[in-house]
Amino acid sequence: MPDSVFEVILVGDSGNISRYKPDPVLSLLTKHLATPNPSAVIFLGDNVYPNGLPEKGDRLRADAELVLQKHHEAVKNYSGKVIFISGNHDWNKGKDDGFDYVIRQEKYIEKLFGGENVYLPSRGCPGPKEVSVNDELTIVAINTQWWIQRGFRPIGAKDGCSAGSEAEFFTLLEEMINRNKNKKVLVVGHYPVYSYSLHGGKFKFKHHLFPLTIYRKKAFMPLPVVGSLLPLYRKYIGAPEDLSHLRFRTLKKKLKTIFANHPNLIYAAGHEHNLQHIYKNQVNYIISGAASKSTYVRKGKYGKFALAAKGFFKLKFTSNQKTVAESWIVDEFDENGKMVYQAELD
């Protein structure tokens, strides 16, 4: 394998980390940040459970602040690039006042980082936001929750956003990718485009017989026959957080079209609490949402790798335009973790 020239660590759904003791995934992250190579860490949204950062005086405010402080502590001595994006929990789980929550979180995080612009796209805008890393790699951040969000959603110059409409968002995204066609392009968002897990409508027999286990692993209340209604609804109609939801389907359809025109592009997301690598239409889809929890996943038709375990993905971009993906999980016997998957991406 050629020497890596830039590493990107993808940490998703870290909002339920351990508050009052060392968190296993953040501890693992700090070990991998001590790389001799230039690098970046991207937190892929859902940075605070359960409802993002409430206003001061709310009973959940102190806990939410603690979670964000733990993130900062994990990377405060790190010299590489740090990026946070937002997820549905950061927008108060999509409720009408979600914009207020995400703006509070952006301001709080950037204050922790001394005013540095680490929260992308800024101001709750849909994006896309381009970050040119070097001559060989560009990162593009998009705000997938913006498409599902109820209530106020910023758009256009009046709100400080680059895209003036949904159509212009896609135009800008394609322009960014085209402009970097001679480089590796990593697009990051919270929601995945494909998934072989719960938000992607993939369930096992247990979920039909005991549907409440979709939300709580030990909720074994049998609901035969009628219990199948919930998994079927999630698969074909979708709750707001599901890939089948009407508003997300609009985004997903267009993203797939744009990505298919740019072979070897990588799209990385969180949202699903597991680790997945999917390869379809010459595009690599990475899901790295297992920083706090692990949930059911299966290896589907286009799946290269799938695992329900706490950990994250690391991408190594090399000087000869090659990219290697590694998946690392927590190992109680090794503080450096265990590499459970490695593949050179086409």
Per-residue model confidence as pLDDT tens digits over 7-61? 999 999 999 999 999 999 999 999 999 988 999 999 999 999 999 999 999 999 9
Three-state DSSP class for residue 83:
strand
Residue 126 clears pLDDT 60, i.e. is over it: yes
Q: What is the DSSP string of 19-44?
A: SSS--HHHHHHHHHH--SS-EEEEE-
pLDDT band, very low/low/confident/very high, at 2 (cuts 50, 70, 90)? very low
Mean pLDDT of the chain, nearest integer: 90
* pLDDT on residue 229: 54
Residue 171 clears pLDDT 50, i.e. is over it: yes
Residue 95 belongs to what H/E stretch? none
pLDDT band, very low/low/confident/very high, at 264 (cuts 50, 70, 90)? confident
* pLDDT on residue 326: 98
Phi, psi of 250 (to 5 degrees): -60, -45
In this prediction, residues 331-337 reach a mean pLDDT of 94
What residue ranges define each of the domains in the chain, with the CATH number in brackets? 4-201+242-345 (3.60.21.10), 203-239 (no CATH)
Between CA 118 and CA 71 the distance in angstroms is: 13
- Per-range mean pLDDT, top range of 139-143, 241-245, 259-263: 139-143
Residue 340 in tokens? 């459970």
In this prediction, residues 92-100 reach a mean pLDDT of 96
* pLDDT on residue 90: 98
Residue 337 in tokens? 């973790």
pTM (predicted TM-score): 0.91
Residue 208 clears pLDDT 50, i.e. is over it: no
pLDDT band, very low/low/confident/very high, at 1 (cuts 50, 70, 90)? very low
Between CA 6 and CA 29 the distance in angstroms is: 16
Residue 204 clears pLDDT 60, i.e. is over it: no
